[in-house]
Structures are given as C-alpha cells and as structure tokens.
C-alpha cells in the first residue's frame, strides 16, 4: 500500500508534500448523482483525507447510465444514494473518512457540516442550492467549484472568496438554458469532463496550488467540439449582496429557501415539512399496502399507485413522482400523512 499514490506523487505540482496535504484535507460534495459520484470516486482514489457527501435522493434505474458508483442492486432496493455511494467508496479506499448524510441541502443542514471543510464541490441540479452554497462560501471563506451539464454541454467555474467574482456576480453573464436532462437527455462523456475539471480544481486548492486555478468560466460541447473560456475577472460587484462590501448573504435567510419545489429533470415535487418528522414506517406500510404497492427499507418508504409514486424519507421529507403541480402534491401529501 505504500506505493498507492506513487504515480500521483510523481506529478511534480503535487509531489510528496502535496500528497501529505491532500490526506489532511476535507472536501464536501453536495449531491452524489452523476457529477457527485464521479468527483467522489476520483477524490477517494486520490487519497483525500475526509469526504462528506450529501444527497436527498435514492438510486433509480435511469441513474445507472451515467452515475458510476451505483449498481442494479442499488436501484432495485431503492437505496439512498449516499448509502450506496459510501459503501462503494469505502471499498475503493478504506483509509478515507467518509461522512454520508441523507438530507436536503438547505442552509441549516449544510451549516452543521462545515467544520474543517476546505473545499465544496457543487454537484446539484438546481439554482436554489447553488445560491445557498455561494452564500456559505462567501460568508465562511470556503472555496467552491460550480459544475453543470446537460445533453453534451457542460460548464465549470471556481469561486475563491475575496479573490474571484461570486456566483451571484455572474448572473448577467452565465449562459442560461431551459434544457434539462429530462427534456434534452445527457451523455456520460459530458458528465465525466465536468467532473474531471471540478476534481482538478479541487486538487489545486487542497494541495496549495491556488495559482493554477482556472479563474475563467469554462464551457464546452463535447458533441459539437466547442470549447470556450469566458474571462469574468472584472465581473465582481462591490454592491453584490453575497460578496460585496455590505454583503447580507440573502440566500441563507429562511424566507428565501424553497420548502416545496418541482425537481429538476423529472416530473416530481419535493415537500419538506417545517421541522423533521419521524413516522412509524411499519404502521404506514400496513395502512398503505391496502391501496397500492409499498416497498420500504431502513431509509425510506415507497408507495406506488398508477397515478404517482410517493416516497417518504426518515426525516419526513417527501418526493412525489409523476406530477408537477404543487397544489396536487400538497393534496396527496395531506391525504396520506394527515
């Protein structure tokens, strides 16, 4: 095992000193879907000291095409992604400390996980969470690496508090699209390229090679053979509410956080109760199995009828698949849980 990282240490910018630094660092990955699972595996293989992974979802069959940590057995059992991911990651490198959290990445939950975190990696699929990550970054001076991909397109940008424009500063220049994985699909090479760039940026930061960080907003289309780096260095705004001179970090405020949202990329609505609620799964299984198909494990309960699928997590959070109307989702939620 002593030569485990020998090839990485031969890479001069890392070397022995960089490897030792890497093994003392802590990275937080928010989301372990396509981008998150690829980044988590790369960092674990590289020998990161500690990795915290956060995700609210469970493994589905449609994930297997691009989310490399998961298997058919995980999809069959509907295992929460962080549970399946942790098992695979620990099998890859048992020396890494891995903390896995099944939760929705709102600011109260993320703030509890920040102790000793050196870098955050964005592997989410919605802007609500990205703005929370951005505010956490600017307030607590923790760098983060943004990443997104859809179809054959991808984008990456590294935010270093106090040195680069923050994510909010770039709202006027970030290329936007109405495409989602659900409408335009996605190919795994786009995922792997974004994840590779994100991990490379994280490695630069945790091995004290900050001068090598790409401070441009990088985009590419792997199918159309297009690449572009946007120089955003002058986009930092002194009046930005997130990183400016009078920053108020608005996205950490409770009233600015989404409690009910349509999940990106699929017909599903998530509902979060005002506070965590623990239900008796055994009782619910008996009640619900009279009306539809029920499946449960230690982490969640799934109830399915022809019109929709209702998934209840241990903390009371619910995802209702098969609908996009929020009012209809609320109605189903109260019908089943009271």
Question: Rounded CA gap, 334 and 236, in Å?
Answer: 45
Asked whether residue 332 carries a pLDDT value surpassing 80, the answer given is yes
For the entire predicted model, the pTM comes to: 0.82
Question: Rounded CA gap, 28 and 54, in Å?
Answer: 8
The pLDDT tens digits for 203-250 are 999 999 999 999 999 999 999 999 999 999 999 999 999 999 999 999
Strand, coil or helix: 289: coil
Domain with CATH 3.30.310.10 in the chain: 259-337
Question: Rounded CA gap, 93 and 306, in Å?
Answer: 42
Name the token pair of 158: 């590294």
Question: Rounded CA gap, 290 and 72, in Å?
Answer: 28
Domain with CATH 3.40.50.720 in the chain: 6-255
The pLDDT tens digits for 33-48 are 999 999 999 999 999 9
Q: Which CATH architecture describes the domain 6-255? A: 3-Layer(aba) Sandwich (3.40)
Strand, coil or helix: 322: coil
What percent of the chain shows pLDDT beyond 90? 66
pLDDT band at 54 (very low <50, low <70, confident <90, very high): very high
Contacts of residue 246, defined as CB under 8 A and 6 or more positions apart, other chains included, come to 239
pLDDT at 76: 95
Question: Do residues 138 and 242 touch, judged by C-beta distance below 8 A?
Answer: yes
Asked whether residue 178 carries a pLDDT value surpassing 50, the answer given is no
Strand, coil or helix: 137: helix
What percent of the chain shows pLDDT beyond 70? 91
Smallest Cα–Cα separation from 162: which of 217, 250, 238?
238
Name the token pair of 275: 């506070």
pLDDT at 315: 84
pLDDT at 129: 86
Q: Is 125 or 139 the better-scoring residue by pLDDT?
A: 139
Question: Rounded CA gap, 274 and 117, in Å?
Answer: 27
Q: How far is CA 68 from the centre of its chain?
A: 15
Asked whether residue 333 carries a pLDDT value surpassing 90, the answer given is no
Most distant CA pair in the chain: distance in Å?
Answer: 64
pLDDT band at 59 (very low <50, low <70, confident <90, very high): very high
pLDDT at 329: 85
Burial letters 100-120, b for 16+ CB under 10 A, else e: bbbbbbbbebbeebeeebbbb
Question: Rounded CA gap, 158 and 160, in Å?
Answer: 7
The pLDDT tens digits for 267-320 are 888 888 766 778 888 888 888 888 889 999 989 999 999 999 999 998 888 999
Asked whether residue 183 carries a pLDDT value surpassing 80, the answer given is no
Question: Rounded CA gap, 117 and 115, in Å?
Answer: 6
Asked whether residue 177 carries a pLDDT value surpassing 60, the answer given is no
Average pLDDT over residues 136-144: 97
pLDDT at 163: 95
Asked whether residue 26 carries a pLDDT value surpassing 90, the answer given is yes
End-to-end CA distance of the chain: 55
Q: Is 184 or 5 the better-scoring residue by pLDDT?
A: 5
Q: Which CATH architecture describes the domain 259-337? A: 2-Layer Sandwich (3.30)
């Amino acid at each position: 095992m002593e030569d485990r990282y020998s090839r990485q240490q031969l890479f001069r910018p890392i070397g022995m000193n960089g490897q030792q630094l890497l093994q003392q660092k802590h990275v937080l990955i928010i989301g372990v879907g396509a981008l998150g699972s690829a980044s988590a595996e790369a960092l674990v293989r590289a020998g990161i000291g500690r990795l915290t992974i956060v995700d609210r979802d469970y493994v589905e069959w449609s994930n297997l095409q691009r989310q490399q940590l998961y298997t058919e057995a995980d999809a069959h059992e509907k295992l929460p992604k962080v549970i399946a991911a942790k098992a695979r990651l620990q099998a890859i490198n048992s020396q890494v400390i891995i903390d896995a959290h099944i939760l929705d990445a709102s600011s109260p939950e993320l703030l509890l996980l920040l102790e000793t975190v050196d870098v955050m990696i964005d592997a989410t699929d919605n802007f609500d969470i990205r703005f929370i990550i951005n505010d956490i970054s600017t307030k607590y001076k923790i760098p983060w690496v943004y990443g997104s991909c859809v179809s054959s397109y991808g984008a990456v940008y590294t935010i270093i508090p106090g040195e680069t424009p923050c994510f909010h500063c770039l709202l006027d220049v970030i290329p936007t699209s109405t495409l989602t994985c659900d409408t335009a699909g996605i190919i795994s090479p786009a995922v792997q390229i974004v994840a590779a760039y994100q991990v490379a940026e994280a490695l630069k930061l945790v091995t004290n090679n900050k001068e090598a960080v790409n401070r441009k907003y990088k985009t590419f289309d792997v199918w159309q053979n297009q690449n572009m780096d946007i120089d955003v260095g002058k986009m930092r705004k002194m009046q930005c509410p997130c990183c400016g001179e009078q920053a108020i970090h608005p996205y950490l405020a409770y009233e600015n956080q989404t409690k009910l949202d349509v999940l990106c990329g699929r017909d599903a609505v998530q509902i979060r109760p005002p506070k965590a609620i623990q239900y008796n799964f055994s009782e619910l299984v008996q009640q619900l199995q009279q009306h539809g198909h029920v499946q449960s494990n230690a982490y969640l309960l799934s109830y399915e009828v022809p019109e929709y699928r209702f998934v209840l997590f241990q903390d009371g959070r619910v995802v209702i698949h098969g609908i996009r109307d929020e009012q209809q989702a609320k109605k189903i939620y109260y019908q089943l849980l009271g």
